[in-house]
Amino acid sequence: MFENVPILSLLILFPLVGALVTFMSGKSPKAAKYLALAFAAIPLAISILILTEFSLDGGFQFVEKYQWISFLGISFHLGIDGISITMVFLSTLLVFLAILFSWDVEERVNQYMGLMLVLEVGILGVFTSLDYFVFYIFWEVVLIPMYFLIAIWGGVNRAYASIKFFIYTHVASLAMLLGIFALYFTTAPLLQAENLIPADAIGSFDMLLIASVAPGLGELLQIAIFAALFFGFIVKMPMVPFHTWLPDAHVQAPTAGSVLLAGLLLKMGSYGIIRICLPTLPDAAVDFQIIMAVIGVVSILYGALACLAQTDIKKMVAYSSISHMGLVMLGIATLSQLGIAAAVFQMFAHGLITAVLFMVCGMFQHKAGTREIPLLGGLAPKLPILSTVMMMGFMASLGLPGMVGFLAEFMIFTSTYDVWGVWVLVPIATVALTAAYYLWAMQRTIFGETTTKIDTTHLHDAYWFEIIPLAVLLGLIVLFGVWPAAVVDLITPSVPLVWPLNGVI
């Protein structure tokens, strides 16, 4: 169906056009909202179309390659496999829902909506590009709109948070850029030797070309490059101890910004590890296995413990993201196909679930005027819809079966046991800790006696534009929980291509 249509370019182009149009739509908030929604709906529709045409053979599909700066070996190379398609679908879905959820933004609406679409451009670019240069450009494109979303529409302490976010992740990007250049220059002779690029070319930025020869690099070199790239990615994920930008950014960011930050931006880090580090530098990955596992486990437990101590619901949810991304890291660290497939599934699951959680936090802010747990309490009778949604979201996040998070978690722990035996006892403690902080938070916010610390007489339950995104997300959470094959079948065929070796099972 799409043989002659550059479908991935269109996928990226539409939000870009949409962003421009929305920016220029002027002062009418209504026009900006509808335009943004429409232009977010198009990529969503395209990604669903792609899903219907997607074949389950694991390789890259819908590949597009245009020479761009040929003497440097840069080409505009796009393509998706089972790992990217889940992320692409998640991205288009979350951006659409986030735009709908921000229907009540009143300040500088056209810019707000435009930035969301620019963000979508960057994210989709990261998840589809197969050229390091293009990848890096899109990677950086993501930073800018998110910076402005926090800096302009953020909370009281937004300047600190946005600058911290920007500098932190930018430093990480630089490390990553160094790694990319190192790859570029060190693989050039190998590529020439294999006649993959002309003898007079400087090198190639093509991911697939580099991946085909980079395993032949010396081990020390591999480790050095891996370290640079890995640092760039774990800051984005973020892993302890490079995580402190995240809670601050979340606490200050507007709700939709948080949804996209946690739902998509964090996934870029783990996606990078899976897409770049593993297939390109497999020997270094084996050397880094223990480090990855330790970082993952520390993030899991530390994030969960930090959650317990928070008094701001949103900050708690932010830390829970660290904990859950730690699970992704652990899954990757098993270096088994089951673990990696589970990690991707967990990324998808976390994207859906965390979106719900941040929307819930945003609603608390809107309805009750505060997110401080000690000020809330007993809101379930006053805000039944919000409370129900919150409970469902929390339950999904703590890995309740029947919802999408369970199986991902289960598979990650299974492969952890498979690789490290009873060491699984350490990370699995998070199952109890996660339940503890979520249930405790619920007990103190929606259950118990109705609070007297805030005015509870004029609480308004969810509006339609809040209910629809939440209903869609919760519906998908349950759907993919009951029918996980829908996602897992997409992911698994592609896993051997990024990691051909296998664990014990």
Partner 1 sequence: MAFAEYAWLIPIFPLIAFVVIGFLGNRLFKKWEGGAPVAIGMTAISLILSLVVAFEALTTGDGTPFVQSIEWLVVQSGDFAFTFNMGIYIDNLTALMLIVVSFVATLVVIYSLGYMHEEGEKKRRYYAIISLFISVMLGLVLASNFLQMFIFWELVGLCSYLLIGFWNTRPSAASAAKKAFLVTRIGDIMFMIGLFVLFVGFQGNLDFEYIFANVDAFIGGNDLLTFGTLMIFGGAVGKSAQFPLHDWLPDAMEGPTTVSALIHAATMVKAGVYLVARSYPVMVDTPTTLLVVACIGGFTALFAATMALNNTNIKRVLAYSTISQLGYMFLALGAGGYIYTQTLEPNVGYTAGMFHLMNHAFFKALLFLSAGAVIHAVHTEDMRLMGGLSKKLKITSLVMLIGCISIAGIPPFSGFWSKDLILEAVFEGISVSPVFAVLYAFGLATAFLTAFYMFRLWFMTFSGEPRDQHTYEHAHESPAVMWVPLALLAALAFGSGFAFLFGFEASIVPHGVFEFDHVASAGDLLVAMFTNVLTYASIIVALAGIGLAYLMYKKKSIDPARFTSGTVGKTISNVLLARYGFTKAYDWIGLKVVYGVAKVADFIDRRIIDGIINAISAGLIRAGGFLRRAQTGLVQAYAVVVVAGGSLIVILLFLVGGI
Residue choice 67, 185, 432, 453 for contact with partner 1 (CB under 8 A): 432
- Residue 46 Cβ vs partner 1, minimum distance, rounded to whole Å: 27
- Residue 442 Cβ vs partner 1, minimum distance, rounded to whole Å: 8
By beta-carbon proximity to partner 1, the closer residue of 86 and 102 is 86
Compute the distance between CA of residue 400 and CA of residue 332 in angstroms, rounded to an integer: 22
Nearest C-alpha neighbor of 178 from the set 230, 238, 241, 122? 230
Q: What angle do CA 410, 261, 62 make, to 5 degrees?
A: 75
Only one of the segments 43-51, 148-156, 283-291, 430-438 lies at the binding site for partner 1 (rule: CB under 8 A); that segment is 430-438
By beta-carbon proximity to partner 1, the closer residue of 61 and 434 is 434
- Residue 488 Cβ vs partner 1, minimum distance, rounded to whole Å: 6
> The tokens of 279 are what?
């297939």
Return the amino acid letter for 27.
K
Does 467 sit near partner 1 (CB under 8 A)? no
Tokens 């297939």, located at residue: 279
3-state secondary structure 207-246: HHHHHHHHHHCCHHHHHHHHHHHHHHHHHHCCCCCCCCHH
On whether the CB atoms of residues 81 and 54 are closer than 8 A, the answer is no
DSSP state of 450: P
- Residue 101 Cβ vs partner 1, minimum distance, rounded to whole Å: 21
Does 448 sit near partner 1 (CB under 8 A)? yes
- Please report, for the chain, how many H helices and E strands are present, in that order: 22, 2
Does 335 sit near partner 1 (CB under 8 A)? no
Tokens 């930035």, located at residue: 115
3-state secondary structure 293-346: HHHHHHHHHHHHHHHHHCCEHHHHHHHHHHHHHHHHHHHHHCCCHHHHHHHHHH
- Residue 241 Cβ vs partner 1, minimum distance, rounded to whole Å: 5
Does 104 sit near partner 1 (CB under 8 A)? no
Residues 304-323 close enough to bind partner 1 by CB under 8 A: 305-310
Does 230 sit near partner 1 (CB under 8 A)? no
Residues 473-492 close enough to bind partner 1 by CB under 8 A: 484-485, 488-489, 492
On whether the CB atoms of residues 429 and 301 are closer than 8 A, the answer is yes
By beta-carbon proximity to partner 1, the closer residue of 77 and 371 is 371
Compute the distance between CA of residue 502 and CA of residue 505 in angstroms, rounded to an integer: 8
- Give the total of residues touching partner 1 (CB under 8 A): 64
Residue choice 417, 426, 461, 463 for contact with partner 1 (CB under 8 A): 417
Q: How many residues does the chain have?
A: 505
Does 241 sit near partner 1 (CB under 8 A)? yes
By beta-carbon proximity to partner 1, the closer residue of 98 and 307 is 307
- Residue 391 Cβ vs partner 1, minimum distance, rounded to whole Å: 8
By beta-carbon proximity to partner 1, the closer residue of 76 and 417 is 417
What single string gives the DSSP state of each residue in 157-219? THHHHHHHHHHHHHHHHHHHHHHHHHHHHHHHHHHHHTTSS-TT-----BHHHHHHHGGGS-H
Residue choice 180, 341, 347, 352 for contact with partner 1 (CB under 8 A): 341
Residue choice 227, 424, 462, 474 for contact with partner 1 (CB under 8 A): 424
Residues 352-381 close enough to bind partner 1 by CB under 8 A: 378, 380-381
Residues 37-96 close enough to bind partner 1 by CB under 8 A: none
- Residue 461 Cβ vs partner 1, minimum distance, rounded to whole Å: 13
Residue choice 450, 453, 455, 460 for contact with partner 1 (CB under 8 A): 450
Compute the distance between CA of residue 309 and CA of residue 330 in angstroms, rounded to an integer: 24
DSSP state of 97: H
3-state secondary structure 251-267: HHCCHHHHHHHHHHHHH
Residues 140-179 close enough to bind partner 1 by CB under 8 A: 164, 167-168
On whether the CB atoms of residues 376 and 311 are closer than 8 A, the answer is no
On whether the CB atoms of residues 163 and 197 are closer than 8 A, the answer is no
On whether the CB atoms of residues 11 and 46 are closer than 8 A, the answer is yes
- Residue 255 Cβ vs partner 1, minimum distance, rounded to whole Å: 23
CB count within 10 Å of CB 380 equals 18
Compute the distance between CA of residue 344 and CA of residue 328 in angstroms, rounded to an integer: 7
Does 435 sit near partner 1 (CB under 8 A)? yes
By beta-carbon proximity to partner 1, the closer residue of 37 and 171 is 171
Does 496 sit near partner 1 (CB under 8 A)? yes
By beta-carbon proximity to partner 1, the closer residue of 15 and 399 is 399
Does 500 sit near partner 1 (CB under 8 A)? yes
By beta-carbon proximity to partner 1, the closer residue of 201 and 454 is 454
Nearest C-alpha neighbor of 266 from the set 320, 225, 308, 305? 320
By beta-carbon proximity to partner 1, the closer residue of 33 and 243 is 243
Does 19 sit near partner 1 (CB under 8 A)? no
**Which residues of the chain form contacts with partner 1 (CB under 8 A)?**
164, 167-168, 240-241, 243-244, 247, 302, 305-310, 337-338, 341, 378, 380-381, 395, 400-402, 406-407, 410-411, 413-414, 417-418, 422, 424-425, 428-429, 431-433, 435-436, 439-440, 442-443, 446-450, 484-485, 488-489, 492-493, 495-496, 500, 502, 504-505
